[in-house]
Amino acid sequence: MPATEQADYFSTQVVRTRRFFLPDWKERQRERTGLCLVGGGCEWCAPDFIVDRKTFPFLAFEFVSRGKGQVTLAHQLHEVGAGHAYFFDPATPHVIRSDAGEPMVKYFFNFTGPRAEALLEDLQLDSGALIRVLDASRVITLLEETIDHALRGGRLGLRAAAAALEHALVLCADSRQPAATKLDPAYATYLRCRGHLLRNYPLLSSIEEAARHCHVSAAYLTRLFKRYDSETPLACLTRLKLSQAAIKLRQPDAQVKAVASELGYKSAAHFSRAFKAWSGHPPTALK
């Protein structure tokens, strides 16, 4: 059964939405292969947005991407803004209110079933919890993918949606901080630069080039990685390039020269030396 864009519990106090509801959730909740998604999406809240519920049929995860608001979970009031995530279950009374001057843009996802309960318990994302997520941009990317896959529908589309949402929940748990944690501008710059390396490593020939693209100096990029990471930016770029090279070299028709060129190395000899230093053996050993 295809996804619809409306459900009885969706708020009407929104100025724009991108939402989905999956009417066949009752049939799918018996499956034990992944999260049983019920509905979700992104809501651009109206200034007067408010949700006030004593109970709710599903498990819920919500993530604020922009704006400000207030959330009351089990009678405890919290101020929320960009990067905050919160969770509630059917037994948790909750009130969600948007700030009138700076309305929230938030993602919400509802799911059910034993797999969902076990996952939240394992990740220690308890009902009533409010956390600060530092790597918000990566989480938002996964939440957008969840919506895309769910709207596409079909068995594999819903499986991909559930996998993307599970990945987002794991990232939230992995980078969680106390809700009162202030976002460090330097850390935000580090995340932006690291994200650029992850997305563009095949095209980057040096850390200096990466730093220019990110509008920082190479020296500052190195200091950011020293402060927030376990490897240098050069080590990160090298690892990304050469781990991808190892995958490509295992293809039956792969040529060392072609792989080197594709990953931005000026010569096959330079690539071979770098690969041997990184892996302990020459690239030809994978042929």
> Tens digit of pLDDT for each residue in 74-90?
999 999 999 999 999 99
Q: Each residue of 151-185: pLDDT tens digit?
A: 988 889 999 999 999 999 999 999 888 888 777 78
Q: Which pLDDT score is estimated for 78?
A: 96
The pLDDT of 182-189, averaged and rounded, is 83
Asked if CATH classification 2.60.120.280 holds for the domain at 14-178, the reply, yes or no, is yes
CA contacts within 13 A on the Cβ side of 182: 3
Q: Each residue of 234-276: pLDDT tens digit?
A: 999 999 999 999 988 988 888 999 999 999 898 999 999 999 9
Say how far apart CA 267 and CA 206 lie, in whole Å: 14
Residue 66 scores a pLDDT above 70: yes
Residue 50 scores a pLDDT above 70: yes
Q: H-helix or E-strand containing 111?
A: strand 105-112
The pLDDT of 119-137, averaged and rounded, is 92
Identity of the residue numbered 208: E
Q: Each residue of 209-220: pLDDT tens digit?
A: 999 999 999 999
Q: Tell me the whole-structure pTM to 2 decimals.
A: 0.75
Residue 287 scores a pLDDT above 70: no
Q: What is the DSSP letter of 202?
A: G
Q: Which pLDDT score is estimated for 1?
A: 65
Q: Which pLDDT score is estimated for 181?
A: 79
Residue 15 scores a pLDDT above 80: yes
Residue among 202, 234, 229, 203 at smallest CA distance from 219: 234
Residue 113 scores a pLDDT above 90: no
Residue 33 scores a pLDDT above 70: no
Q: Which residues of 187-221 are buried (b: 16+ CB within 10 A; e: fewer)?
A: eebbbebbebbeeebeebeebeebbeebebebeeb
Asked if CATH classification 1.10.10.60 holds for the domain at 185-286, the reply, yes or no, is yes
Q: Which pLDDT score is estimated for 199?
A: 87
Return mean pLDDT, the chain: 92
Cα→Cα distances 213→170, 207, 221, 231, 287, Å = 29, 10, 11, 20, 35
What does the domain layout of the chain look like in residue ranges?
14-178, 185-286
* Choice between 36 and 188, residue whose per-residue pLDDT is larger: 36
* pLDDT band for position 107 (cuts 50, 70, 90): very high
Identity of the residue numbered 256: V
At 190, list the tokens. 């580090």
Residue 138 scores a pLDDT above 90: no
Residue 32 scores a pLDDT above 70: no
